Amino acid sequence: MAKVEKVKTPKPEELSNISYHPPATDWMDTPTEFKPGTYCWGAKEKDLITLGLPNPRQWSPADEDWKVPEGWETTILDGIAERLSKYRSFKVFMDICVRCGACADKCHFYIATGDPKNMPVLRAELLRSVYKKYFTKSGKFLGRLAGARELDMDVLKEWWSYFFQCTECRRCSVFCPYGIDQAEVTIIGRELLNLVGLNIDWISGPAAACYMKGNHLGLEPHAITGNIETMCDDIEEITGIRVNPTFNRKGAEILFVTPSGDFLGEPGIYTCMGYLMLFHELGLDYTWSTYASEGGNFGFFTSNDTAKRLNYKIYAEAKRLGVKYIIGGECGHMWRVLNQYMDTWHGPADFLEVPVSPITGTRFENAKSTKMIHISEFTADLIKHNKLKLDPSRNDHLKVTYHDSCNPSRGMGLLEEPRYIIKSVCNNFYEMPENTIREKTFCCGSGSGLNASENMEQRMRGGFPRANAVRYVQEKHGVNMLANICAVDRAAFPALMDYWCPGVGVTGTTELLANALVMKGEIRRTLDIRLQDLPGKGGNE
């Protein structure tokens, strides 16, 4: 029988004995530790097989042996070479950084941990040092003196740890004088890791489900229609109006695509009810699809090819149904993909028309090429043209602040529309401090596929700078509701708020609109969209 080693109990004075010195080792010599709560589970074998990605096997990041295939070094280096020739941006980002440090203290993970490897500059350096060693003369000859290092298993593990600690929010790139987009460095880093089968479960699982069923949650058509029917029942209870959405209807004018999180979890479903109510009130000729049932794209956090494959269904479905254009729901990274990648991958969508609002006649020239507009653009335009009857007093019990979701704000400049909607439907709106909103918005800490549960501590760290600003307006103005336009926000923020700012709820912007929307023929509203009594409106409060 193996001898059980006695655990040495430290003495009290040993416990409080703190080293007051910075690490003795240089960053290159500081190994990565994997502590539970700070990393996500590794990608599962079955999901990698489904997606046709390399090296499917059962493994755990906590294991010493990550079971990477033999010759993995060559695979990675060939992968870097291929991407250097394919993406000019990658080559420029590898060469151009002058280490000015402007980005260093802009990352929410760095701000909350003080871990230098979470500085965007150093996160990029993890990859850049390998690039230097194998792809530059100075690195080949001068080695470490030129900041170059060999690629080995420790480096690979370090990449995995830190590229899955970046939420690709791009806050750092706002401050970079050269415009280096750290999100793209992370994207390439994750692509390289995927070449040897190193993804996380929370990304590859949803990506595989999306590949098979059309959405991240793996909801089958009857589950989607069933859930929406349930929402229609609730809407009827609240408003007295029966909403009758259609599914997969050929010949509809508009296809509506939203992240599948809106079909299922709280508080996403309330935003979804908002869409249903708004479209019904307008008499919009639109349809839902149970095939293109996902606006988000976790393939985007895997590789360009996987993202492209998952995105394909949106145009394909628009073509099959013969719609004129597409409206998309409230989501974050979905919009970076739709706004910046979809047209290059699968466009130009000549079979569609430039979106024109059937209610106001506004032509959305900004979507001339993609033929897809954001629900906030569509709604803000309706309000601007006075096409909606609104009673903002129904939101009077709410003191609202707005979180600019990273991708729509920094990725497509959607800054004013959501604010315009909120101000039109709520009487109490308070902005968070200037350096925490708009282009400088702080990430929720859970973006880019990091909203798993097993990494809860990491999420609480990453979201701390955002929550800190929410707490400020909570204390100063009594803010009790955090609005956003992102499904990951709606899924991740409730936990973040519970921890840092208890008492602050989370809502999609369209849910606020639905509360205030006065529908033709509705009963006197005593309930809000969550079926809670509306204070001051004769409910049983």
Partner 1 sequence: MDIKLKDLIEGKRSVILERWFDAIIETYPTDATGFLKKKQDRFANPVGHAISKGTEGILEVLVGEKELTEDLPFLNDIIKVRAIQDFTPSKAISFVFLLKTVVRETLEKEIRQNQIYDALLRFESKIDDLALFAFNIYVKCREQIYELKTDELKRMTYTLLKKANLMYEIPVPEFEIKDPNCNT
- Residue 433 touching partner 1 (CB under 8 A): yes
Of 32, 38, 360, 369, the one binding partner 1 (CB under 8 A) is 38
The SS3 call for residue 32 is: coil
Closer CB to partner 1, residue 49 or residue 100?
A: 100
With contacts defined by CB under 8 A, how many residues of the chain interact with partner 1?
A: 51
Site string for partner 1, 498-527 (x = CB under 8 A): xxx---------------------------
Closer CB to partner 1, residue 35 or residue 524?
A: 35
Closer CB to partner 1, residue 120 or residue 465?
A: 465
Closer CB to partner 1, residue 114 or residue 348?
A: 114
Rounded to the nearest 5°, which phi and psi values hold at 533?
Answer: -65, 135
- Residue 23 touching partner 1 (CB under 8 A): yes
Pairwise CA distance, residues 207 & 47, whole Å: 8
Of 37, 179, 413, 538, the one binding partner 1 (CB under 8 A) is 37
Helix (H) or strand (E) holding 401: strand 400-402
Q: How far is CA 109 from CA 173, 410, 489, in A?
A: 15, 18, 17
Q: CB of residue 323 vs partner 1: minimum separation in angstroms?
A: 27
Closer CB to partner 1, residue 137 or residue 222?
A: 222
- Residue 16 touching partner 1 (CB under 8 A): yes
Of 224, 460, 486, 513, the one binding partner 1 (CB under 8 A) is 460
Closer CB to partner 1, residue 11 or residue 88?
A: 11
The SS3 call for residue 427 is: coil
Closer CB to partner 1, residue 134 or residue 500?
A: 500
- Residue 4 touching partner 1 (CB under 8 A): no
Using the contact rule CB under 8 A, the part of the chain among 88-96, 105-113, 161-169, 480-488 near partner 1 is: 105-113
- Residue 22 touching partner 1 (CB under 8 A): yes
- Residue 194 touching partner 1 (CB under 8 A): no
The SS3 call for residue 499 is: helix
Using the contact rule CB under 8 A, the part of the chain among 14-22, 83-91, 305-313, 394-402 near partner 1 is: 14-22
- Residue 233 touching partner 1 (CB under 8 A): no
The SS3 call for residue 483 is: strand
For tokens 């929550």, what's the residue? 467
Pairwise CA distance, residues 221 & 212, whole Å: 12
Q: CB of residue 495 vs partner 1: minimum separation in angstroms?
A: 4
Closer CB to partner 1, residue 35 or residue 88?
A: 35
Q: CB of residue 68 vs partner 1: minimum separation in angstroms?
A: 26
- Residue 221 touching partner 1 (CB under 8 A): no
- Residue 15 touching partner 1 (CB under 8 A): yes
Using the contact rule CB under 8 A, the part of the chain among 51-59, 107-115, 172-180, 367-375 near partner 1 is: 107-115
Instruction: State the alpha helices, DSSP H only, in 389-508.
Output: 406, 412, 416-425, 456-462, 464-477, 487-500
The SS3 call for residue 485 is: coil
- Residue 85 touching partner 1 (CB under 8 A): no
The SS3 call for residue 429 is: strand
419: tokens are 């604010």
Of 54, 218, 265, 505, the one binding partner 1 (CB under 8 A) is 265
Of 105, 236, 237, 416, the one binding partner 1 (CB under 8 A) is 105
Q: DSSP secondary structure string, 349-372?
A: -TTS---B-TTT--B-GGGTTT-E
- Size of the chain in residues: 541
- Cβ-based neighbours of 386, under 8 Å, separated by 6 or more: none
- Residue 74 touching partner 1 (CB under 8 A): no
CA neighbor of 214 nearest in space, from 266, 260, 271:
260
Using the contact rule CB under 8 A, the part of the chain among 51-59, 72-80, 489-497, 521-529 near partner 1 is: 489-497
76: tokens are 């990675």
- Residue 28 touching partner 1 (CB under 8 A): no
**Cis before 31 (ω within 30):** no
Sheet of strand 400-402, all strands in order from the earlier edge strand to the far edge: 400-402, 481-484, 505-508
Q: CB of residue 293 vs partner 1: minimum separation in angstroms?
A: 15
- Residue 535 touching partner 1 (CB under 8 A): no
Whether the Cβ atoms of residue 214 and residue 314 lie closer than 8 Å to each other:
no
Whether the Cβ atoms of residue 507 and residue 266 lie closer than 8 Å to each other:
no
Longest distance between any two alpha carbons in the chain, whole Å = 81
Pairwise CA distance, residues 318 & 256, whole Å: 9
CA neighbor of 28 nearest in space, from 160, 117, 134:
117
Of 385, 453, 526, 538, the one binding partner 1 (CB under 8 A) is 453
Contact residues toward partner 1 (CB under 8 A) are: 15-16, 18-23, 35, 37-38, 104-105, 110-116, 223, 226-227, 230, 263-267, 269, 433, 435-436, 453-454, 456-457, 460-461, 464-465, 468-469, 472, 491, 494-495, 498-500, 540
